[in-house]
Chains A and B, each alone.
Chain A
Amino acid sequence: MELIRIEDVTFRYSDISDEDTGADAPKPSEETPPVFEHLDLTIEKGSFTAILGHNGCGKSTLAKHMNAILLPSGGKVYAAGIDTSDESRLFEIRRHIGMVFQNPDNQIVASIVEEDVAFALENMGVEQSVMRKRVDEALDAVGMSEFKEHSPSQLSGGQKQRVAIAGVIAMRPDCIVLDEPTAMLDPAGRREVMKTIRRLNRESGVTIVLITHYMDEAAKADRVVVMDGGKVILDDEPKNVFSNVELLKEVGLDVPQSTQLMYAMKKSGFDTADTHIINENECADYLYELLR
């Protein structure tokens, strides 16, 4: 079943009004070139999709279309069946499709962890007893229950991102769109966040759209979409996407190091090396057969 449908979407930053413009997106006086044109993409319910592309390829802009932060200049976006241009249903859309951004410090508003997680629920006017239950469940889902009475300022980056995710979870969304949630984290923080995302997907069936620059993170998704120049150039299972080593390097991306090793071996005459290998276990299995 499809959850998000992006249909023939074109988007230009010059088409949005001043009040919609974020601080880092200056309002251009003339028509700017489209970020993307006639783009189609659907996200299935319960899936885990990673979106890759170099800086400026339009992937964050696309993500912001998924919950009506941005509206298309042309074409339509349907989120949980709702046309995102229907302003009267904005809150409903945001409740279905939650979003987590790159910088954890920009997303935390309260001075106590559990109050931060409750923030959206309070705005929605959820009853106290229900709110208590949902906040506890959300903190439990991201493994942050023991910190519920802490100040967010005492938390590490990875923990803050998990609190931000809990704030979204508390609204019980169908889908979470994460725009480079690990870019500012250290390896331990990245691992925590990735584990949390995967668990939400596998155990609670939350649909995940993950925008990332880390190929090893994308390798853990069910589906990888690669964007370049405002177009989807690859869309497949991770192993099939990453086997296109040359194409990915051409568009400024990379492949997991295991895939890179397979590629380098192939080029140096090991014909059996398979560039569909994308993680260290498969890679070690292949090499074991070769070397034993």
Chain B
Amino acid sequence: MIRTEKLTYTYSQGTPFEKTAVNNVDLHIEEGAFVGIIGHTGSGKSTLIQHLNGLIKPTSGKVFIDGEDIHGKNVKLRDVRFKVGLVFQYPEYQIFEETVAKDIAYGPSNMGLSKEEVDTRVKEAASIVGLPDDLLERSPFELSGGQKRRVAIAGVMAMRPKVLILDEPTAGLDPKGREVILGQISEYHRRSHSTVLLVSHSMEDVALYAEKILVMNKGEVFCYDTPPNVFTKADEIAAIGLSVPQVTKVFGLLRQKGIDIRSDVYTVDFAVKTIREYLEQKGRVS
């Protein structure tokens, strides 16, 4: 679905502030995957995702969406942007319409869809993000911060992009708010079968929802793999300044203490299962 070939981007090229943010990245993301993207500030993850719908043009290298070079001769970037929807950080600051429904409809209306089709999509997207019908005719500016954010996300979902990219959709929310939004994104992924890329600082969140994790470091792909395979590398991940889930750390500590237990534990449920299995193996189950 998404493929990059030797993708390189250098900011302020030819000035003393020259900085290569993305360096020679070859990436292949499968259609329908739910990918978590992790990396600390300056790792190049935001620069990378902005290439995927043509917001920035590579200094060198290529980006292919659906097999098509997005900077190729006959490709309209406008079509690429309908195909790849990007939700920025703090998207609630981008809301501008008079009503919630109009704001969500902005993207699909620009795609030239019929009014009926737009209405259907607005309702559908609003329901995925859990905005009740009676809110649709209200001004988005009367809503709470969490609700506004969901309006902004619904606006991109309503375009039914084949790829949905979200840059830290849970930043600044409380634990319940985080869980609700991530649950809704996961539900959208399940229902639409689209490819979802979720940029996050929280390993715990990514571990719970993503099927694949892309770890970026210093403009390069550190690893792109399934959660268990990524968390087996807990020590290396910590060494590049990222944190792993607390349970992963606990199992790392147990191994240090000489307990021969698996290291790819990253969720609470899996941790309980692993402890039980370990005790069963030793014939000491209660």
Contacts and interface: CB of A to CB of B under 8 A. Distances in A.
B243 A288 contact: no
Given A216-B246, A253-B174, A291 B268 contact: no
A254 B175 contact: yes
Interface residues on A, range: 35 or more
B183 interface: no
Contacts of A163: none
B223 interface: no
A247 B276 CA distance: 27
A55 interface: yes
A257 B245 contact: yes
Interface string B196-225: 000001001000000000000000000000
A252 B261 CA distance: 33
Interface in A185-210: 186-189
A156 B41 CA distance: 8
Interface in A254-276: 254, 256-258, 260-261, 264-265, 268-270
Given A291-B259, A291-B261, A291-B275, A54 B176 contact: yes
Contact of B259 (A253, A264, A288): A288
A81 interface: no
Nearest to A278: B246
Nearest to A56: B144
A133 interface: no
A284 B250 contact: yes
A257 B251 CA distance: 12
A133 to B, nearest CB: 33
A260 B40 CA distance: 26
Contacts, number: 103
Contacts of A260: 268
Interface in B224-265: 241-243, 245-247, 249-250, 253-254, 257-259, 261
B17 to A, nearest CB: 10
B245 A284 contact: no
Nearest to A265: B272
B173 A265 contact: no
Nearest to A257: B246
A109 interface: no
Contact of B254 (A183, A189, A287): A287
A50 to B, nearest CB: 14
Given A187-B242, A253-B176, A55 B146 contact: yes
B176 A252 contact: yes
A183 B171 contact: yes
Interface string A50-69: 00011110000000000000
A187 B243 contact: yes
B177 interface: yes
Contacts of B275: 265, 270, 287, 290-291
A256 B201 CA distance: 16
A107 to B, nearest CB: 16
Contact of A280 (B242, B253, B261): B253
B213 to A, nearest CB: 15
A102 B172 contact: yes
Interface in B151-178: 171-177
B278 interface: yes
Contact of B271 (A55, A261, A290): A261
A280 B250 contact: yes
A292 B253 CA distance: 13
A29 interface: no
B16 to A, nearest CB: 13
B145 interface: yes
Contacts of A180: 172
A183 B41 contact: no
B134 interface: no
B174 A54 contact: yes
Nearest to A212: B174
Given A54-B174, A183-B171, A264 B272 contact: yes
B177 A54 contact: yes
B259 A184 contact: no
B201 A215 contact: no
Interface in A210-237: 213, 215-216
A258 B172 contact: no
B110 interface: no
B269 interface: yes
A56 B40 CA distance: 29
A247 to B, nearest CB: 13
A215 B175 contact: yes
13 contacts: A54-B174, A55-B174, A56-B144, A180-B172, A187-B40, A187-B241, A252-B174, A258-B246, A261-B268, A264-B268, A270-B286, A280-B253, A292-B258
Interface of B: 40-42, 144-146, 171-177, 201, 204, 241-243, 245-247, 249-250, 253-254, 257-259, 261, 268-269, 271-272, 275-276, 278-279, 286
Given A54-B174, A55-B174, A257-B204, 16 more contacts: A54-B176, A183-B171, A183-B172, A186-B41, A187-B40, A213-B175, A252-B176, A253-B176, A256-B246, A268-B272, A280-B246, A280-B249, A280-B250, A284-B254, A291-B279, A292-B259
